[in-house]
Amino acid sequence: MNKNIIVFVVILVGLFGLLLFGQGRAKTASLPVDEQIQKGSELTAENGFYDFGIIPMDGGNVTTSYVVSNNTGADIRVDSLVTSCMCTVAYLVNENGKKGPFGMPGHGDTVPRANEVIKSGEKWTIEVIFDPAAHGPLGAGKVERSVYLVDERGGALELQFIAEVTI
């Protein structure tokens, strides 16, 4: 009888642990899949591409910003904001402040979900910071990175930048 109770308790604790693990994972952002990027988002960027030009590896972080608009007749919730590489972080910025940093899922800390609503007619800024020294000397050369806003409808808006990192 005691053996059955112990087995039952162990199974119950295991199931409870799996439930908690699953809930924690659901709060973590992930990179969008190709279908989401191809689908796009109803959010639009005034300029979704930026060229930093030539930047020295030892010159410190560089920053650019993208203006994202909701030109639809409905509010759009940004489910997640993620970057394509650990050398890049992004922030959501509006008149109420700055939220982030958001980075690349799977490297270091978990990336929280953004869960922010961009109301119809609103414009938000996506501030992007790139660290040219993050990859060390092997990171010299042409760099192409992306930042993705994934909306509640399952589409993704891709913002891109390039740079030529020199040693």
Model confidence pLDDT, tens digit, residues 35-56: 888 888 999 999 999 999 999 9
Same domain, 14 and 71: no
Same domain, 21 and 3: yes
Q: Is 69 in the same domain as 8?
A: no
CA–CA separation, 165 vs 108, rounded Å?
24
Residues 10 and 88 placed together within one structural domain of the fold: no
Write down the residue that tokens 């978990």 correspond to. 110
Question: How far apart (Å, rounded) are the C-alpha atoms in residues 6 and 1?
Answer: 9
Question: What type of residue sits at position 131?
Answer: D
Locate tokens 């930093």: which residue?
52
Those residues whose C-beta lies under 8 Å from the C-beta of residue 37, and which sit 6 or more positions away, are 148, 156, 158
Predicted confidence at residue 161, as pLDDT, reads 98
The total number of structural domains in the chain stands at 2
**Domain of 11?**
1-29
Identify whether residues 5 and 73 lie together within a single domain: no
DSSP string, 57-113: GGG--EEEEEEEEE-SSS-EEEEEEEESSTTEEEEEEETTEEEEEE--TTSSSPPBP
Question: Across-strand partners of 12?
Answer: none
One domain, residues 123 and 53 = yes
Model pLDDT, residue 51: 98
Same domain, 96 and 38: yes
Question: What pLDDT sits at residue 14?
Answer: 55
Q: Give the pLDDT of residue 11.
A: 63
Alpha carbons 151 and 145: distance in angstroms, whole number: 20
Please state, in angstroms and rounded to a whole number, the distance separating the CA atoms of residues 98 and 80.
Answer: 15
The reply to whether 133 and 151 lie within a common domain is yes
Whether residues 49 and 12 fall in one domain: no
- Residue stretches of the chain with pLDDT short of 50: 18-26
- Residues 53, 116: one domain? yes
DSSP code per residue over 101-155:
EE--TTSSSPPBP--EEE-TT-EEEEEEEE-TTTTGGGG-EEEEEEEEEEETTS-
Residues 65 and 139 in one domain: yes
The answer to whether the predicted template modeling score (pTM) of the entire model surpasses 0.85 is no
What is the structure's pLDDT at 35? 82
Q: Are residues 15 and 87 in the same domain?
A: no
**Predicted pLDDT of residue 106:** 83
Q: What is the CATH number of the domain that holds 160?
A: 2.60.40.10
